[in-house]
């Protein structure tokens, strides 16, 4: 692997981690106030994180589901599964300071479904840590 391709992969991985972390922060900032307002506390946060993870996995599965043209052997699907334009959330994260300076080729980004799977893993992991390590809701 050349140094240039290693930098490209590093930027792709940072983009993936940034997307997952950004979605995690967005989910917690929405779930925590609702949980506190309803009196559920950390148990509500744990359940909300789990449900947000389920929603992310479901939506990522829909994004990765092949379209009719991709199942046709004569069609040549794109490698990334998208046209290179950032999604709305990616465009929002591209304006946040750490990722503002990170230049990732639009066609070199991971598929949005892959990023959602990574975010779901983070959400499930936080929910698991709240229950298994901190004893929330046990």
Does residue 31 sit within a domain?
yes
Q: How confident is the model at residue 25 (pLDDT cuts 50, 70, 90)?
A: very high
Q: What are phi and psi of 80, to 5 degrees?
A: -90, -15
118 lies in which domain range?
3-65+86-93+110-134
Residues 80-105 have a mean pLDDT of 72
Does residue 52 sit within a domain?
yes
pTM reported for the whole predicted model: 0.82
Q: What is the pLDDT of residue 99?
A: 67
Percent of the chain at pLDDT exceeding 70? 87
| CB neighbourhood size of 71 (10 A) | 9
Q: Domain count for the chain, please give it.
A: 1
Does residue 104 sit within a domain?
no
Does residue 73 sit within a domain?
no
Q: Is 78 exposed, middle or buried (0-12, 13-18, 19+ CB in 10 A)?
A: exposed
Q: Contact 20/121 with Cβ under 8 angstroms?
A: yes
Does residue 99 sit within a domain?
no
Q: Contact 133/113 with Cβ under 8 angstroms?
A: no
Instruction: Give the model confidence (pLDDT) of 38-69 as tens digits.
Output: 999 999 999 999 999 999 999 999 999 988 76
Q: What is the pLDDT of residue 8?
A: 84
Does residue 102 sit within a domain?
no
Does residue 71 sit within a domain?
no
């Amino acid at each position: 692997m050349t140094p240039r391709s290693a930098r490209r992969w590093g930027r792709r991985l940072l983009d993936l981690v940034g997307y997952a972390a950004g979605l995690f922060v967005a989910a917690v900032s929405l779930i925590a106030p609702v949980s506190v307002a309803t009196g559920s506390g950390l148990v509500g946060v744990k359940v909300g994180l789990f449900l947000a993870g389920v929603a992310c996995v479901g939506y990522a599965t829909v994004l990765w589901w092949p379209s009719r043209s991709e199942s046709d052997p004569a069609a040549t699907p794109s490698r990334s599964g998208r046209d290179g334009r950032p999604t709305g959330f990616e465009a929002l994260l591209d304006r946040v300071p750490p990722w503002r300076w990170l230049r990732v080729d639009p066609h070199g980004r991971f598929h949005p479904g892959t990023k959602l799977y990574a975010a779901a893993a983070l959400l499930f992991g936080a929910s698991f840590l709240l229950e298994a390590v901190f004893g929330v809701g046990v």
